[in-house]
Amino acid sequence: MRKCSLDRLPAIFAAIAEKAALYLPVDGSDGKAAYTKWQEGMQWSNALNTVRSPKDFFFPQTEDLMKFKMEGKNIEIKDVREEQEDFVVFGVRACDVKSFDILDNVFLTEPMDSFYASRREHGIIISTACTRPSETCFCGTFGIDAAAPAGDVTTWKTETELFWQANTPKGEALLKTIEGLTEACGEEQVEAQKEKIASIMKKLPLAGLSLEGFGGGKTKELFDHPAWEELSSTCLGCGTCTFVCPTCQCYDIKDFNTGKGVIRYRCWDSCMYSEFTRMAHGNNRLTQKERFRQRFMHKLVYYPENNNGLFSCVGCGRCLARCPISMNIVKVMKEIGGKASE
């Protein structure tokens, strides 16, 4: 365990940025935090979480897959993959760190996604414990400890100091680069902060939210539940919930003719869209009710059934904060399965 005073952070950020690109939450002109490449003078945001998750660093919203150059009947295929630069993502909360386990199950399982795998290999995650959890947080429902996030390095912030703990060989190597700017310390203050955070988490409005009634083997029981009709009745199908979600991984692959060739790229898609998975024969989910049900059944039933009980939600609360009609996974869980304490 090591520590530094908060006024040494600019020097530490500079030292890290000399070795790899450094990204951290920074407040924008709209007052909301977003991951931004660090430059001298930038201040680490005090926001609990960023509007969009750090998923973007490993599974970007759009990316080129290959290019085609055509001359008559000849087609030349160009591999657009390039060696990734090393990068560090600082200030990742426990919920977002857990989301990488869910994405890894999808993209690192055979056949492995080489684009995602390369970014995971070159990326270093520095997590930060949540000293001020929000009323929309419910990560504890999924067994996530906001006071002890995973990652290559875990940090804890007090009013005057930042504590650092390496968890992986990557993390140990990174702490070596800033060793001269930090000092060895005990764990007493960190343990005290963990207890404080745990106390706050127990008092949050969604602390009693239960997963009872969900999980693998519940498809037959829940698929035709009468509540789906009412729950989905106000859904706009805008896809906002899927685009701010740190665990959604649906994408579409498209070809774009540049006039000089064709670029094949992938971009995020949403199961809430009417054209999602549409093929020549049509779409197998014709109503918003069916699309709405698919999203939440996947999070709470299908994914854990196929991934050893791991749910495809981390309780970050982004969908609660961003949905324009205030319909979200918590309301589904309360109505269809587990109950939350009043």
pLDDT in the model for residue 282: 60
Residue 233 resides in a domain: yes
pTM value is 0.91
**C-beta of residue 256 within 8 angstroms of C-beta of residue 199:** no
Domain-ending residue, one of 154, 169, 203: 203
Instruction: Go through the chain and tell me how many residues it has.
Output: 342
80 and 7 share a domain? yes
Distance of alpha carbon 174 from alpha carbon 188, whole angstroms: 23
Distance of alpha carbon 146 from alpha carbon 193, whole angstroms: 11
Residue 214 resides in a domain: no
Peptide bond into 205 cis (omega under 30): no
Residue 254 resides in a domain: yes
134 and 17 share a domain? yes
161 and 234 share a domain? no
Distance of alpha carbon 307 from alpha carbon 150, whole angstroms: 20
181 and 77 share a domain? yes
Residue 211 resides in a domain: no
Reading the block at residue 118, the tokens are 């390369």
Distance of alpha carbon 184 from alpha carbon 119, whole angstroms: 31
188 is in which domain, residue-wise? 2-203
Q: Total structural domains in the chain?
A: 2
Q: What are phi and psi of 228, to 5 degrees?
A: -60, -35
Query: Low-confidence residues of the chain, pLDDT below 50?
Result: 339-342
Residue 325 resides in a domain: yes
Residue 208 resides in a domain: no
45 and 172 share a domain? yes
95 and 166 share a domain? yes
61 and 164 share a domain? yes
Residue 305 resides in a domain: yes
109 and 50 share a domain? yes
Rg of the chain over Cα atoms, rounded to whole angstroms, equals: 22
pLDDT in the model for residue 263: 94
Going by C-alpha positions, the residue among 141, 213, 207, 211 that lies closest to residue 342 is 207
254 and 153 share a domain? no
pLDDT in the model for residue 278: 66
49 and 154 share a domain? yes
Domain-ending residue, one of 203, 237, 268: 203
Residue 210 resides in a domain: no
68 and 123 share a domain? yes
Domain-ending residue, one of 177, 203, 229: 203
65 and 195 share a domain? yes
